[in-house]
Chains A and B, each alone.
Chain A
């Protein structure tokens, strides 16, 4: 359907585009162009116009028709003019600028957008808009407009709109004020860190969250949409609901704020809070809302808990301390608190002490000490290391070290007291002092000087002797160094010795000790290192060795004398030895010479007589033979004598020579037999030889063995008139045993001793003078002994004798 265009034309035709506003007056309607109205139409229209005009003019609101294209009101009703105070002429004069002049700049954008939207609108739409306009007097007033499309253009877009507006300024202002105040309230509301919430109280004890502030959301970790509009029983944890709702009910009933502490588990964690709710009543005195404030005391609770724990801790410390602790109120001196150690030591029960003073319980053994303690405490505010005596319940008195500190408790001055029982310590100190006195007495009784110093040479302990001997006082010694007691080279020497003590553990030294007046005394010092708690010290003694030194000097002199004498003596001895050696040499020379000289003539005698007797020099008659024999026998005898004499001389001169060489014993025996055969035969004696099978090579002097054997056999022959001479030889236990047995006259027991002694001829009582030098057996013994063996004799007077000698193989 084609939209009806009702355009208003201004009185001045053709000026509609200049923005002039038309005012419907009771003027004839312009008829559409090109058409003419019938009178009926005309009347009808007029009537309708009049009717419309009346309506429009009666209408309390302002009516206007706004052209969206031309951007101006093309019609406004009378009220519009009145409302704004403009005359028609003025309104016309404003033209297009009307809108910009009368609309509030803040609303212009909105209005423009609103108008734009109208272009697209459909026919039957009604839209509302509120905006401000300025009256002639400059005031702003709010208008609320209802608008509808009035005409469209060719394309169907809305061209003109018809609007009716009412002034809503009061309401708007109120709204605005409310909005602002709400905004402010909202800000405050949200800024409060305390949680606030508003519950609507609904029938059946149900509570619904109307609003909660940001703090609430933060605390609970919920989002606004999760809370607002929800019921409290959906939000508040089930476990707390009984308590919470009970309190709500109480608040409602008692018409007074109710406060309680609540622990709740929220997504953000467990929280402890103090909740207060207050009921709000309407005019009918029915509770409609509950306003609640929640003060999160989680942190406070935690600090409270921490504080409690800390208190507990310290409380434990106080009570469990091994040291006696007490807290006393200063104003009256009453014990406010004591710990177990205190009670135990003093021997009291808690109730006997708390509320009473120290004097009342008799703790002060010496009242004056209490005065003193209080004085110091007052002057200095605290007490340290105060020694005093205390008395326990049982009357025992002990020594204590007191410490007192003034503190404030609940605004009142108290002092905390620490009491250290030093009774034992004091006893030990005394004991130590006694010990020290004792050791001092001991050290002072030492005969020498005693010293004890550290490795810097600082004297720590010494005995009185050191002072007496050195002439220095105790004070002086305390400042001296060990080396101060020495001079010259000895200083260095002693320094070295001291170092040796510290390095090797001990040392000693002899040096001259210098007294204060410069006197020197020879001393012997010892030093030992001892470590006490890891620190090295030197401890030692010094002894006056003046006497020893003198003795040493005398000894030295004596020694010197002695040495001189010895030297002299040694010289003498050396000379004597030389002389002896000389004499020895002479003896040897003598023996050698004698041996040679004596034997040489005999060589001729024996030799020539032998040769002649052999017939080598020609035939002999019987008488010549006989006499030559006698001559030769004598010569042989002489030779034997010479040999014996030389032998015994050698023996006596210690020059017996034994040459051990392996030799065949059998051969030696055989040789000996050859030699002794003739004399044995002459006396018609049997010569019996028995040589053991194990007799073979013997390691000894074969010459001497021969000599002994010959001697023994010759003796046997000499002393035997009839019978036999038996020679036996065997090896037994590594020894060569040779025996010469005869059936001769034997030897008397009393003569046995003389046998082996030189020059002791035994008187056999026989007529014949026995040949021999008396040296034979003596020589035998010497020879056998010299060869490492033994010679023995067994004999029976009148039966016979056996001479046995053993030799090492």
Chain B
């Protein structure tokens, strides 16, 4: 039972991710933009943040960096959710301060399991070494 913040602009993605997490018993807070996400995170101190990289306006990398800047919420693990296509995306995600990433389209069967690893402090979804 955790408090999870999802920063995602696509309604369907947002609905899907929320649905899966709620069905697994977690509390889900939604933010539909980067700015909103940052503000909400600073208010509610989630246990985990799911961040869509392909955000309009302030893109995911910037959001991640911004989240890391705030010491109060800097420790909250961020998992990026990304279409991941281009070279350098991986680096950028990790450098921006994300703990790991999940590729879109997500696998609904494994989605929850992958995320909860971070909640439990388990091993990474993708070795971030």
User: Is the pair A591, B85 in contact by a Cβ cutoff of 8 Å?
Assistant: yes
Q: List the A side residues contacting B108 at CB < 8 Å.
A: 606-611, 614
> A459 contacts the other chain (Cβ, under 8 Å)?
no
Find chain B residues with CB under 8 A from A703 CB: 126
* A596 and B85 contact, CB distance less than 8 A: yes
Q: For the complex, is A289 an interface residue (Cβ under 8 Å from B)?
A: no
Mask: chain B, 19-51; 1 = CB below 8 Å from A; 0 = not: 110010000000000000000000000000000
Q: Is the interface of B mostly helix, strand, loop or mixed?
A: loop
Contact B105 A639 (CB under 8 A): yes
CB of B123, distance to nearest CB on chain A (Å): 9
B54 part of interface (Cβ distance < 8 Å): yes
A669 to B: closest C-beta gap in Å? 14
Is A657's CB under 8 angstroms from B87's CB? yes
The chain A residue with its CB closest to the CB of B22 is: A616
B121 CB-CB contact with A under 8 Å? no
| A 709-739 contacts with B by CB, 8 A | none
Nearest chain B residue, comparing its CB with the CB of A703? B126
Residue from A592, A614, A702 within 8 A of B85 (CB atoms): A592
Q: Which of A596, A600, A606 contacts B107 (CB 8 A)?
A: A606
B85 with A611: CB separation less than 8 A: no
- Smallest distance from the beta carbon of B26 to chain A beta carbons, Å? 13
Within the complex, which residue of A599, A607, A650 is in contact with B16, where a contact is CB–CB below 8 Å?
A607
Stretch at the interface among A231-239, A659-667, A789-797: A659-667
Kindly state whether residue A604 has any CB partner on chain B within 8 Å. yes
- Kindly state the separation between the CA atoms of A591 and B13 in the bound complex, as whole angstroms: 21
Asked if B117 CB lies within 8 Å of chain A CBs, one says no
A616 contacts across to B, CB distance below 8 A: 19-20, 23
Q: Does residue A673 face the partner (Cβ distance < 8 Å to B)?
A: no
Q: Tell me if A603 is interfacial: C-beta within 8 Å of chain B.
A: yes
Within 8 A of B (CB), among A620-670: 635, 639, 646, 650, 655-657, 659, 661-664
Q: How far is the CA of A611 from the CA of B20 in the complex (A)?
A: 7
List chain B residues, Cβ under 8 A from A611.
16, 19-20, 23, 108
B residues less than 8 Å from A588 (CB atoms): 86
Residue among B20, B104, B109, B129 making CB contact with A603, cutoff 8 Å: B104
Q: In the complex, what's the smallest C-beta–C-beta distance from B112 to chain A, in angstroms? A: 10
A603 adjacent to B19 (CB under 8 Å): no
A604 partner, pick from B16, B86, B107, beta carbons under 8 A? B16
Q: Name the A residues within 8 Å of B90 (CB-CB).
A: 659
Measured CA separation A609–B54 after assembly (Å): 23
Is B10 interfacial (CB 8 A cutoff)?
yes
Which B77-103 residues sit within 8 Å CB-CB of chain A? 83-88, 90-91
Residue A602 is within 8 A (CB to CB) of chain B in the complex: yes
> Which of A603, A617, A646, A663 has the most chain B CB atoms inside 10 A of its CB?
A603
Q: Is B71 an interface residue (CB 8 A)?
A: no
A595 at the interface (CB under 8 A from B): yes
Docked CA distance A617–B19 (Å): 9
Find chain A residues with CB under 8 A from B19 CB. 611, 616-617
**CB-based contact B127/A603 at 8 Å:** no
> Are A663 and B20 in touch, CB under 8 angstroms?
no
Chain B positions within 8 Å of A602 at CB level:
104-105
A35-B5 Cα distance, complex, nearest whole Å? 211
Pair A600/B129 contact, Cβ less than 8 Å: no
CB neighbours (8 Å) of B129 from chain A are 661-663
Residue of B nearest to A612 (CB): B108
User: Does the CB pair A663–B86 fall under 8 Å?
Assistant: no
Which residues 488-517 of A have a CB within 8 angstroms of B?
none
**Size class of B's contact patch?**
20 to 34
Give the Cβ gap from A706 to chain B, nearest Cβ, in Å.
10
Q: Which residues of B contact A608 (CB under 8 A)?
A: 12, 16, 108
Chain A's closest residue to B16 (CB) is: A607
Cβ–Cβ < 8 Å partners of A599 in chain B: 83, 104-105
The answer on a CB contact under 8 Å between A646 and B16 is: no
Closest residue on chain B to residue A642 by CB atoms: B105
Give the contact-size bracket for chain A: 35 or more
Contacts of B86 in A (CB 8 A): 588, 591-592, 595, 655, 657
Q: With CB as the reference atom, state the residue of chain B lying closest to A646.
A: B85
Residues of B within 8 A of A604 (CB): 12-13, 16, 105
Q: What are the residues of chain A within 8 A of B109 when measuring CB–CB?
A: 610, 614
Q: How far is the CA of A136 from the CA of B121 in the complex (A)?
A: 188
Q: Is B106 an interface residue (CB 8 A)?
A: yes
User: Are B127 and A607 in contact (CB-based, < 8 A)?
Assistant: no
Assembly CA distance A767 to B13 (angstroms): 39
- Closest partner residue, chain B, to A596 (CB atom): B83
> Is the pair B23, A607 in contact by a Cβ cutoff of 8 Å?
no
How far, in angstroms, from A797 to B23 measured CA to CA in the complex? 51
Contact A595/B83 with A608-B16, A611-B20, A662-B129 known, Cβ cut-off 8 Å: yes
Chain A residue nearest to B91 (CB atoms) is A659
Q: What's the Cα separation between A694 and B86 when bound, in Å?
A: 34
Determine the chain A residues whose CB is within 8 A of the CB of B23 once the complex forms: 611, 616
CA distance A588 to B85 in the complex (A): 9
CB pair B20–A600 under 8 Å, yes or no, is no
Name the interface residues of A551-608: CB closer than 8 Å to any CB of B. Answer: 588, 591-592, 594-596, 599-600, 602-608
Given the complex, which residues of A lie within 8 Å of B12, measured CB to CB? 600, 603-604, 607-608
The docked-state distance in angstroms from the alpha carbon of A535 to that of B87 is 76
The answer to whether A595 and B20 have CB atoms under 8 Å apart is no
Min distance, Cβ B24 to any Cβ of chain A, angstroms = 9
Q: Which B residue's beta carbon lies closest to that of A595?
A: B85
Q: Tell me which residues across on chain B come within 8 A of A603, comparing CB atoms.
A: 10, 12-13, 16, 104-106
Contact B88 A607 (CB under 8 A): no
Contacts of B91 in A (CB 8 A): 659
Contacts of B88 in A (CB 8 A): 657
Tell me how far the C-beta of B15 lies from the nearest C-beta in chain A, rounded to whole angstroms.
8
- A775 to chain B minimum Cβ distance, whole angstroms, is 16
Assembled-state Cα–Cα distance A21/B23 (Å): 211
- The distance from the CB of B68 to the nearest CB of chain A, in whole angstroms, is 22
**If A600-B10, A659-B90 touch, does A606 touch B105 (CB 8 Å cutoff)?**
yes
In angstroms, how far is the closest chain B Cβ from the Cβ of A336? 120
State A588–B89 Cα separation when bound (angstroms).
12
Give every chain B residue within 8 A of A657 (Cβ-Cβ): 86-88
Which chain A residues lie closer than 8 Å to B106 at the CB level?
Answer: 603, 606-607
A614 to B12, CA, bound (A): 18
Does B54 lie within 8 Å of A607, measured CB to CB?
no
Distance (Å) between the CB of A581 and the closest chain B CB? 15
Q: Fill in one digit per residue for B39-72: 1 if any A CB lies within 8 Å of its CB, else 0.
A: 0000000000000001000000000000000000
Residue in chain A with minimal CB distance to B23:
A616
Chain B nearest CB from A678 CB (Å) reads 11
Point out the residues of chain A lying under 8 angstroms from B54, CB to CB: 596
> With a CB–CB cut-off of 8 A, which chain B residues contact A605?
105
Q: How far is the CA of A656 from the CA of B19 in the complex (A)?
A: 35
Across-interface contacts of A662 in B (CB, < 8 A): 129
Cα–Cα, bound, A588→B109 (Å): 31
B54 to chain A, nearest CB (A): 5
Residues on A with beta carbons closer than 8 Å to the beta carbon of B84? 595
Which B residue sits closest to A589, measured CB to CB?
B86
Most A C-beta atoms less than 10 A away, residue of B19, B54, B85, B106: B85
Q: Which residues of B contact A664 (CB under 8 A)?
A: 127
Q: Which of A446-488 contact B (CB under 8 A)?
A: none
B13 to chain A: closest residue by CB: A603
Residues of A within 8 A of B127 (CB): 661, 663-664, 702
For the complex of A and B, 6 pairs with smallest distance between CB atoms: A610-B108, A657-B87, A595-B85, A603-B105, A596-B83, A607-B16
Excluding A605-B105, A657-B86, A659-B91, 15 further A-B contacts by CB distance (< 8 Å) are A592-B86, A595-B86, A596-B85, A600-B10, A600-B105, A602-B105, A603-B13, A603-B105, A603-B106, A607-B108, A611-B108, A614-B109, A655-B87, A661-B127, A703-B126
The contact sample of 30 A-B pairs, CB cut-off 8 A, is: A592-B86, A596-B54, A596-B83, A600-B12, A600-B13, A600-B83, A600-B104, A600-B105, A603-B10, A604-B12, A604-B16, A604-B105, A606-B105, A606-B107, A607-B106, A607-B108, A608-B12, A608-B16, A610-B108, A610-B109, A611-B23, A614-B108, A646-B85, A657-B86, A657-B87, A659-B90, A661-B127, A661-B129, A662-B129, A702-B127
